[in-house]
Amino acid sequence: MAKLLYIKANPKSDQSSRTFIISEHFIKVYKEFHPNDEIITLDLYKEGIHFLTAEDINDIFAPKTESSKNHPFLKYAYQFLEADKYVFAAPMWNLSIPAILKAYIDYITVSGITFKYTEQGAVGLLKGKKAVHIMATGGEYKTPPFSDFEMANRYLKTILGFMGVDDFQLISAQRLDIVGEDVEKIISNVLKEAEEIAKRF
């Protein structure tokens, strides 16, 4: 039995967020094809994720003990470590990820938990795990010239790779705000793509 962590980063409802329309469908299909897996949903807005304080930063660099697993924010790093698969539902905001997701990443990118330092430098501790990023965008960011501006999926893939997660996929509904596009058709096609990936994820 695998443990999947479903991370949601949007204040909108499941019905009004185009990202969540796709991610909820992905999770539904995943449950059908992986009935024995455990799914943990983490809505970052409901969790009340905040920016790190000076005290928080001191805790990050402090020695880790058994009680660290119950720390107000270090517990998220341990939860991330214990999961086998990750689903990030995060739209593109202003060419990048929502700020609350970056704040969460600061919670989980902790030396001694999700990565460590060695004589050769940093080494990720999440080898063998895999992730999918589900993202809706208003424009087209897969091809030039605007692909150069895309810093949302690129960042998420890079930071997860830093922690050792090298099996990473993107499910993206793009061009949703471009005048004249058939938005329903775009989302319908992406839902089908999400289904196929969920079945074998």
pLDDT, one tens digit per residue, over 13-49 is 999 999 999 999 999 999 999 999 999 999 999 999 9
**Residue positions counted in the chain:** 201
Cα(182)–Cα(47) distance, integer angstroms: 35
Q: Under DSSP, is residue 148 helix (H, G, I), strand (E, B) or coil? A: helix
Cα(92)–Cα(152) distance, integer angstroms: 6
- Cite the annotated binding site for FMN by residue number: 92-95
Cα(27)–Cα(93) distance, integer angstroms: 23
- Cite the annotated binding site by residue number: 92-95
Over residues 75-116, the pLDDT tens digits come to 999 999 999 999 999 999 999 999 999 999 999 999 999 999
Question: What is the pTM assigned to this prediction?
Answer: 0.95
* 177 backbone dihedrals φ, ψ, rounded to 5°: -110, 5
Dihedral Cα 25, 27, 28, 29, nearest 10 deg: 90
CATH label, 3-200, candidates 1.20.140.10, 3.40.50.720, 1.20.120.1200, 3.40.50.360 = 3.40.50.360
Confidence of residue 180 (pLDDT cuts 50, 70, 90): very high
Contacts of 152 (CB under 8 A, 6+ apart): 90, 92, 93, 95, 96, 97, 135, 137
